[in-house]
Structure 1
Amino acid sequence: MAQDGTGTQVVPRRAALAHVLAPGEILPRAGRALAAGLAEEAGQRRLFPWLAVAFGAGILLFFGAADRLPSPVPALAAAAAFGGAAFGLRARPVGLALALALAFLFLGFAAAVIRVATVAAPVLARTTIAPLAGFVEGIDERDEGARLIVRVHGLGTLGPAERPARVRVSFRRPEVPRPGDFVTARVRLLPPPEPARPGGYDFARDAYFRGIGAVGSVLGTVTVGPPPEPPPWDLRLAAAVDEARNALTRRIAAAQGGQAGAVAAALVTGKRGLIAPETSEVLRAAGIYHVVSISGLHMVLAAGVIFWLIRAGLALVPALALFWPIKKIAALGAMAGVTAYCAFSGWDLAAERSLVMTLVMLGAILVDRPALSLRNLALAALIALAREPEGLLGPSFQMSFGAVAGLIACARLIDGRVWRAEGAGPLGRLAAAILTAVTGTLATTLVAQIATAPFATYHFQAVQPFGLVGNALTLPLVSLVVMPAAVLGILAHPFALDRPVWWAMGLAVRGMLDIAGWIRGFDHATLTLPAFGTGALALMSAGLLLLVLPASRLRWIGLVPALAGVALAAQPARFDLYVDREGGGAALRGADGRLQVLGRPPPFVLEQWLRADGDGRSRDDPGLKAGPRCDRLGRVATSGTWDVAVVRDKRAFAQDCARAAVIVARAAAPPGCAARLVLDRAFLAAHGATALRFGPDGPDVVTARTPGETPPWRPPPAAVPKPVPEPARPAAEPEPAPEPDDGPDADP
């Protein structure tokens, strides 16, 4: 150790570093750094957002680990106990934080339990063909017909304990009933479809929370008749709103015509039935499909337009501008306006969550607080999750709140002010304003895409590399023309003066579609990536939370789980065999490493398998059926040393059981089948969709169901009977998985 000229001892840098890294110093220094960071977080009141995280962790604990529906009383009692402990530990910051976190965790668990019990309704146990009678609650009009939501009054001979409360049926006749009508029809219904693959989208769970207990189609005609009893008030209200939405949808679509009119109508009313699949694909390829879903973008723009109109109108009156709080009055008006807009757009789940977030932000103006803050976002998340805990499992909640959190955390970096034009002339100020708008839009879009990328890739297995370009070119049209025109059109609609507004709005939408079509023509406009597991998603989610919530240097800890999640997602373990939940078909990895189709899986199911495998081929690609050996009794294919047979006729069991290692069958296999693994009717009824990985020690089998676990949204396996022999395939396609940006607020 040396001394400087003042007599102060100087420790060499290498010796100092060795002292810091000494085993006895690492943990104490890390502990002191952590304590300092936590103290800084508490001093800046940044611990509150973590209560929302703890609340969400309780919800995940219920949906991920509970194998039955427990009573909410123990969870509420535990929350109360830890809440009391928090009060007693209020002088100890660490103990207070831990006690509050545990209290909110149990509150989240209890909220999920109460929600499941509140929406409980019968789920159809088996495929049923029977007369249906009920009130039409909502209609989604389409070019080829309509899709009806019917509140069931009677369904064949089923009693109240077996009869679903609501069903969704497709109707392919040009004449459709009106919302509120009492209808009778002969229908073919089946239980809401379960996941097409293990870990895939579970429509049955989403349908349960929407009150839908069966899906299907109308066989024949729909008859409108007098109801046996007056409809309840809530149904009359829902029917009136839906009828008004359909009428406005037709009016907007007719004003411009074509797909521009259909998209313009969806932007206002949320009714997307008139949008052709080709148009949807164009919007997705450009990364702007989120604009046609009523969500955060619409709520914020609508609130902003209403806020500006009210404030500007009041500012024109000097007495009001000088003596009245016109900013708060405008905020109240915007709150009323967006609430009415959400009600008119159908109270979709994504719209509700966006409404809560918007109301919290506007409410902050009323109490003179910053509108955009992580505390407000956490409060909005708590309200939204308390109302709809199941939303945490879907892409809409994850992407919308992830995007907003990222934007708030990076607000100082993305304000877009790259050139300050103080002292410049009119042209300079105009150039600065344009440059600020462009860079702000690009930065906002980039941050939102990075924050939502883990959730979008996990749920949709698709990435749009040119989404930044698509959003940068189209969002100015949406923000400056489309949404102001939508607000103006709604205001002019009661006076029948809205048609020119819808026509002008359609022109802007047409330009948006032209830009999207141009981007879709780029090579690799859409990349399909293999599905990765929940472990990688959990790591990336933890990394995002740690990067955006802390105010201190603790945020950089988030890089560790984030990078670990990315590394894990980059090496997904693909399945070698996918089996349909009904045993009608399978997809096997061939010698070229790509999937080949065996049997006849439903087209939607095959599409989900291809996505999960990172295969960008269409479900109609002829290469999918190349290779397997086929006859009229079944198909046989080989993957490595594993022969897989899909049995289509019982007569094939004798031969296939002797030569194949894996048997897939819709029927029940004979007791003496010598195959190593038999996936027949009994197995699939208990386990659902199944996927296998072939290894040297045997197949690794993963299933969508766990025997013995019966969530409320699935009928018990014992109730699953032989399939109805009428049509070999359902008359109605299962509900499609949520599409990219279908509801989430990717660009708030």
Structure 2
Amino acid sequence: MGVPRWGAVVGLAVVGLAVERWLEAERDQLVLWLPVMLGGGIALWFALPDPAAWCVAVLLLVAGGLACLAAGQGGRAARALAIGLLTAALGLGLIWARSEWVARPVLGGPTIASFSAKVEAIEPLVARKLVRLTVLPIGKGVETDGRPVALPYRVRVNLAEADAPRLLGTGSIVHLRARLMPPPLPAVPGAYDFARVAWFGGIGATGRGFAPVVVTRSSESGAGIRVALSHHIVSRLDGSVGGIAAALATGDVGAISEEDSEAMRRAGLAHLLSVSGLHITAAVAATMLIVLRLLALSPWLALHARLPLIAALAGAAAAIGYTMLTGSQVPTIRSCVAALLVLAALAMGREAMTLRLVAAGATCVMLVLPESAAGPSFQLSFAAITAIMALHEHPVIRAFFGPHDEGRGRRLARGVASLLLTGLLVEFALMPIAVYHFHKAGLYGAFANIVAIPLTTFVVMPLEALALLLDAGGVGAPVWWLVQRSLDALLWLAHIVADAPGSVRSLPAMPTPALALMIVGGIWIALWRTRLRRLGLLPLAAGAIWALTTPAPDVLVTGDGRHVAVRTAAGLAMLRDRAGDYTRDMLAENGGVDGEPLLLADQPDARCSRDLCVTDIAARGRMWRILATRSAYMVPIAELIAACRSADVVVSERGLPKRCVPRWLKLDRRVLRRTGGVALTLGTGTVVTILTAGDRHPWRHPPVLERPAHIFRSRHARFQYGTSGFRADRGRRKYDVYAKAPRREGVAVRKTVPNSTKD
């Protein structure tokens, strides 16, 4: 018995020694894992369901870290693991504290209210002919019937351009009337979670404002430098070109049409519209070059002052000012921090562009805004820059693309090859994240960026800066013409690439664990330097296979039950033909379809009336029957119960009677209120919901203000929503108002039945 025991001890000692030797070889890379573990703790908070689980996770992480310190006996592995576990606990605690710090009550339900508010931010949406206001309500609002209603701390309202008063500016006090609703949850699994973004932004309601909007106290600052500069640029250029130029200068993308925005996304050029590393680098480099050249004109300064240090300080000021001008978005903050670290390294005579720079930038962002780690902006930004730095730090790549004593032609070819290789790597690095968040992956973006990045960096941005400078003297028109032509060329390139066959591949919603595996594998490959980095291919391949083999959902149901998308033999088909563009695009994207969804009533496998729709889907070796209601009219109870019994899945925006019992699943208003949007995969019997019973993240169950009643007035009666129809109060008698289906000759059969209940 002693030999196996001693053998195990010796084996563990050998393994421990091998690990120590490996970590000794990788000692310069260990610090790069600090932001990874910090982000891991933040991700753990999002993954775990409730405060009890968060407390247990923090305690386990801290206990594990302290145990490693106690039992490690000074080994590098124990210290590294202890620091990593404690950093993960710090990340979980940061995001939990942040969620509590920003906590604000949200509106309890839809309402129409008049209220006064202070304008906090103005965002022109020129392409949609809207102005988006972020306001801070003052006091309570007044509903249509004169009752007071409590409003949340911050509200976001869209106004028509014609309804926005001329004196509107940041800091002004306005009085307006708006239809408000709580921040919506994702409509279906995999869709954009605005409720989470609104929670961390302190937004408790969104809606649409109506004229008249009265400015009761104007602001001395007006709309702000950013808005004024965006208006100036848009006024100098035509169409979406003005919006792109404004995006390059101020980060404002509201003047770009949806068609051109979609072309930029499909061509892999959307990153040019988000002020990030490319724009900050250009601004810093231009500032340093101009300052250095101007100061060098003085011989005394050239001899007695450190001009590079002064130029670096000017570049840092330019980076900070540009970041504040463009709204301080996550990619801009990340790029600004990176630029400041680069300038500091240059001033100290150190190598600047390293993975340590990326790690420092990521750590700074997560310490201040830990919730940003869950958003696509943070993930795409740091995935791209990490891939670029890891590639160019590899000894083989550095030797091949480094300085060579060769002719101009070979140098140009080597530079083009470097740009192409970098673009391909970035495309592959960003593809899992883009598919997870946007359900689309571009295929030709690397080739488009070979032309677009130099065009934007060395032509468009310098010309735009020169045009703005010349506008101070009123002589910038010729340069604006050049900006127009160059951006026209950029848009032409975007449309050519976007319209190319196979330019975009649409995929259904990816499981979160599959993305996590790919991110872990990619980080492992990028951060280590020894041969063990190749082990990262295992989780990377496992996550990719999992994502690619995940079947598209057969049925998508929005949280209100009104919109249903069914996968038929011809493609994804929608239940209702009257759906907005956003709903159609959202269902198509989450269904893994590139293009417009079809209409279910037009499919040969469906049988639809104006009130009900039935379709059969083949899956798992059998036919599944889906029944859905299409209108708010009541169906005869006997017909409805018989249809429910013959169906496998029943979907309705109304509350269905208890005797409506399908063979598998009933999704009516009562069920959807608990589950939110639903995705069904019939082949595997998988049901994915937005809400789960144990999920206690604050935006899922936020504290709500006084819930306004769902009441509206007409000229003759006062109506209130009920569970099965409308209740009408007319005089001293009450009536039940309902309709039966099917209709006869296109006219609904309506009945009004008085009852004996008196007021």
Residue in structure 2 matched with residue 597 of structure 1 by the alignment: 574
Q: Tell me whether 1:294 sits opposite 2:294 in the alignment.
A: no
Greater RCO structure (CA 8 Å; 6+ sep)? 1
What secondary structure sits across from 1:411 in the alignment?
A: helix
Q: Tell me whether 1:668 sits opposite 2:658 in the alignment.
A: no
Residue in structure 2 matched with residue 689 of structure 1 by the alignment: 677
Deviation at 1:53, TM superposition (A): 0.9
In structure 2, how many angstroms separate the alpha carbons of the residues matched to 1:713 and 1:499?
A: 49
Residue in structure 1 matched with residue 197 of structure 2 by the alignment: 206
Alpha-carbon distance change, 268 to 304 in structure 1, aligned in 2, over 3 angstroms = same
Alpha-carbon distance change, 653 to 225 in structure 1, aligned in 2, over 3 angstroms = farther
In structure 2, how many angstroms separate the alpha carbons of the residues matched to 1:578 and 1:726?
A: 35
Deviation at 1:300, TM superposition (A): 2.0
**For residues 178-577 of structure 1, what are the structure 2 equivalents within 5 Å?**
178-180=168-170, 181-226=172-217, 242-412=223-393, 422=405, 428-429=407-408, 431-489=409-467, 500-577=478-555
Alpha-carbon distance change, 304 to 656 in structure 1, aligned in 2, over 3 angstroms = farther
Selected match of 1:580 from 538, 546, 558: 558
Q: Is the 8 A contact 2:241 2:484 kept in 1?
A: yes
In structure 1, how many angstroms separate the alpha carbons of the residues matched to 2:531 and 2:573?
A: 50
In structure 2, how many angstroms separate the alpha carbons of the residues matched to 1:72 and 1:315?
A: 60
In structure 2, how many angstroms separate the alpha carbons of the residues matched to 1:33 and 1:492?
A: 65
Deviation digits for residues 579-634 of structure 1 (CA, Å, limit 9, x no counterpart): 110010211222x1732222465542332232223211214x45785243222222
Residue in structure 1 matched with residue 612 of structure 2 by the alignment: 634
Q: Is the 8 A contact 1:420 1:432 kept in 2?
A: no
Q: Is the 8 A contact 1:169 1:216 kept in 2?
A: yes
Deviation digits for residues 538-581 of structure 1 (CA, Å, limit 9, x no counterpart): 11101111101012222111111111111112211322211110
In structure 2, how many angstroms separate the alpha carbons of the residues matched to 1:625 and 1:406?
A: 47
What secondary structure sits across from 1:377 in the alignment?
A: helix
Deviation digits for residues 624-680 of structure 1 (CA, Å, limit 9, x no counterpart): 852432222222222233222222335227223332332212221223322242212
Residue in structure 2 matched with residue 99 of structure 1 by the alignment: 82
Q: Which stretch of structure 1 is more off in the superposition, 55-64 or 157-166?
A: 157-166
In structure 2, how many angstroms separate the alpha carbons of the residues matched to 1:722 and 1:672?
A: 30
Deviation digits for residues 219-242 of structure 1 (CA, Å, limit 9, x no counterpart): 342122238xxx8xxxx8xx65x5
Equivalent AA in structure 1 for residue 688 of structure 2 = V
Alpha-carbon distance change, 30 to 565 in structure 1, aligned in 2, over 3 angstroms = farther
Equivalent AA in structure 2 for residue 329 of structure 1 = I
In structure 2, how many angstroms separate the alpha carbons of the residues matched to 1:726 and 1:357?
A: 57
Q: Is the 8 A contact 2:45 2:54 kept in 1?
A: no
Alpha-carbon distance change, 336 to 69 in structure 1, aligned in 2, over 3 angstroms = farther
What secondary structure sits across from 2:682 in the alignment?
A: strand
**For residues 115-126 of structure 1, what are the structure 2 equivalents within 5 Å?**
115-126=98-109
In structure 2, how many angstroms separate the alpha carbons of the residues matched to 1:106 and 1:69?
A: 15
What secondary structure sits across from 1:47 in the alignment?
A: helix
Selected match of 2:159 from 140, 153, 171: 171
Alpha-carbon distance change, 721 to 187 in structure 1, aligned in 2, over 3 angstroms = closer
What secondary structure sits across from 1:347 in the alignment?
A: coil
In structure 1, how many angstroms separate the alpha carbons of the residues matched to 2:363 and 2:427?
A: 24
Q: Which stretch of structure 1 is more off in the superposition, 306-315 or 46-55?
A: 306-315
In structure 2, how many angstroms separate the alpha carbons of the residues matched to 1:122 and 1:340?
A: 34
Q: Is the 8 A contact 1:51 1:101 kept in 2?
A: yes
Q: Is the 8 A contact 1:134 1:183 kept in 2?
A: yes
Residue in structure 2 matched with residue 731 of structure 1 by the alignment: none
In structure 2, how many angstroms separate the alpha carbons of the residues matched to 1:642 and 1:84?
A: 54
Q: Tell me whether 1:153 sits opposite 2:138 in the alignment.
A: yes
Alpha-carbon distance change, 65 to 81 in structure 1, aligned in 2, over 3 angstroms = closer
Deviation at 1:323, TM superposition (A): 4.2
Q: Which stretch of structure 1 is more off in the superposition, 403-412 or 643-652?
A: 643-652
Deviation at 1:41, TM superposition (A): 0.9
Q: Is the 8 A contact 1:76 1:107 kept in 2?
A: no
In structure 1, how many angstroms separate the alpha carbons of the residues matched to 2:669 and 2:113?
A: 24
Selected match of 1:128 from 102, 106, 111: 111
Q: Give ranges in structure 2 of 5+ residues lacking alignment.
A: 1-7, 715-759
Q: Give ranges in structure 1 of 5+ residues lacking alignment.
A: 1-22, 728-748
Equivalent AA in structure 2 for residue 370 of structure 1 = E
Q: Which stretch of structure 1 is more off in the superposition, 190-199 or 533-542?
A: 190-199
In structure 1, how many angstroms separate the alpha carbons of the residues matched to 2:10 and 2:550?
A: 39
Deviation digits for residues 459-513 of structure 1 (CA, Å, limit 9, x no counterpart): 1121221111210111111111122334445555666665554443333212211
In structure 1, how many angstroms separate the alpha carbons of the residues matched to 2:148 and 2:693?
A: 27
Deviation at 1:83, TM superposition (A): 7.4
Deviation at 1:349, TM superposition (A): 2.8
Q: Is the 8 A contact 1:653 1:670 kept in 2?
A: no
Deviation at 1:710, TM superposition (A): 3.9
Q: Which stretch of structure 1 is more off in the superposition, 405-414 or 183-192?
A: 405-414
What secondary structure sits across from 1:390 in the alignment?
A: helix
Alpha-carbon distance change, 183 to 77 in structure 1, aligned in 2, over 3 angstroms = farther
Selected match of 1:656 from 630, 636, 640: 640
Residue in structure 2 matched with residue 703 of structure 1 by the alignment: 689
Deviation at 1:118, TM superposition (A): 1.9
Alpha-carbon distance change, 722 to 459 in structure 1, aligned in 2, over 3 angstroms = farther
Q: Which stretch of structure 1 is more off in the superposition, 304-313 or 708-717?
A: 708-717
Equivalent AA in structure 1 for residue 99 of structure 2 = V
Alpha-carbon distance change, 168 to 694 in structure 1, aligned in 2, over 3 angstroms = same
Aligned-residue sequence identity (percent) comes to 33
Task: Count matched residues.
Answer: 685
In structure 2, how many angstroms separate the alpha carbons of the residues matched to 1:450 and 1:580?
A: 32
For the aligned residue pairs, the C-alpha RMSD in angstroms reads: 3.5
Alpha-carbon distance change, 196 to 513 in structure 1, aligned in 2, over 3 angstroms = same
Deviation at 1:201, TM superposition (A): 2.1
In structure 2, how many angstroms separate the alpha carbons of the residues matched to 1:724 and 1:467?
A: 51
What secondary structure sits across from 1:214 in the alignment?
A: strand
Q: Is the 8 A contact 1:685 1:720 kept in 2?
A: no
Equivalent AA in structure 1 for residue 649 of structure 2 = V
What secondary structure sits across from 1:99 in the alignment?
A: helix
In structure 1, how many angstroms separate the alpha carbons of the residues matched to 2:287 and 2:601?
A: 53
Q: Tell me whether 1:60 sits opposite 2:48 in the alignment.
A: no
Deviation digits for residues 246-274 of structure 1 (CA, Å, limit 9, x no counterpart): 22112212223232222112211111111
Equivalent AA in structure 1 for residue 107 of structure 2 = L
Residue in structure 2 matched with residue 645 of structure 1 by the alignment: 627
Q: Is the 8 A contact 1:127 1:724 kept in 2?
A: no
In structure 2, how many angstroms separate the alpha carbons of the residues matched to 1:164 and 1:580?
A: 26
Q: Which stretch of structure 1 is more off in the superposition, 281-290 or 480-489?
A: 480-489
Deviation at 1:190, TM superposition (A): 1.2
Deviation at 1:108, TM superposition (A): 0.3
Q: Give me the TM-score of the superposition, normalised by structure 2.
A: 0.82
What secondary structure sits across from 1:531 in the alignment?
A: coil
In structure 1, how many angstroms separate the alpha carbons of the residues matched to 2:240 and 2:452?
A: 16
In structure 2, how many angstroms separate the alpha carbons of the residues matched to 1:411 and 1:210?
A: 37
Q: Is the 8 A contact 1:260 1:507 kept in 2?
A: no
In structure 2, how many angstroms separate the alpha carbons of the residues matched to 1:322 and 1:717?
A: 65
Deviation at 1:133, TM superposition (A): 1.8
